[in-house]
């Protein structure tokens, strides 16, 4: 399936999504911070990035803009932020999809397949 980079600071969410996506056949690497995630995205060139917006070192929306400056990798934003004021600017900045927590690994897998189609 896909090589996915998961950028998520919450250990429990990162662990659960990584495990679930691996069980569904994906290769998953992960990062708890924006800057490490950017480094991994540039170095490893994953098929897709799953990006949380609430990262400890930099807002995920800013990371998305930085990532778009150097890569066209598909990005699914996965966040608790559910308002149009957050969602629309992130989609306009280049996110390929936006999913609001909580969600299952199965739903994320379907979104990964749709974005990579």
Q: What is the pLDDT of residues 12-60, one digit of tens each?
A: 999 999 999 999 999 999 999 999 999 999 999 999 999 999 999 999 9
**Would you state the pLDDT for residue 110?**
98
Hey, what's the torsion of the CAs at 10, 8, 82, 47, to 10 degrees?
-150
Q: What is the pLDDT of residues 92-103, one digit of tens each?
A: 999 999 999 999
Its pTM surpasses 0.75: yes
**Would you state the pLDDT for residue 75?**
99
Sign of the torsion formed by the C-alpha atoms of 79, 67, 40 and 97: positive
Beta-strand runs (E) in the chain: 3-7, 27-31, 48-51, 75-79, 97-100
Identify the residue whose tokens are 């659960």. Answer: 16
Sorted by where each starts, the structural domains of the chain and their CATH numbers stand as 3-116 (3.40.50.2300)
């Amino acid at each position: 399936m896909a090589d996915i980079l998961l950028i998520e600071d919450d250990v429990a969410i990162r662990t659960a999504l990584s495990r679930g996506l691996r069980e569904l056949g994906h290769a998953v690497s992960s990062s708890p911070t924006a800057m490490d995630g950017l480094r991994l995205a540039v170095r490893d060139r994953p098929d897709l990035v799953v990006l949380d917006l609430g990262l400890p070192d930099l807002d995920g929306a800013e990371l998305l803009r930085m990532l778009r400056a150097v890569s066209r990798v598909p990005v699914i934003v996965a966040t608790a932020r559910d308002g149009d004021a957050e969602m629309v600017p992130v989609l306009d900045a280049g996110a390929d999809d936006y999913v609001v927590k909580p969600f299952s690994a199965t739903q994320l897998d379907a979104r990964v397949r749709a974005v990579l189609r």
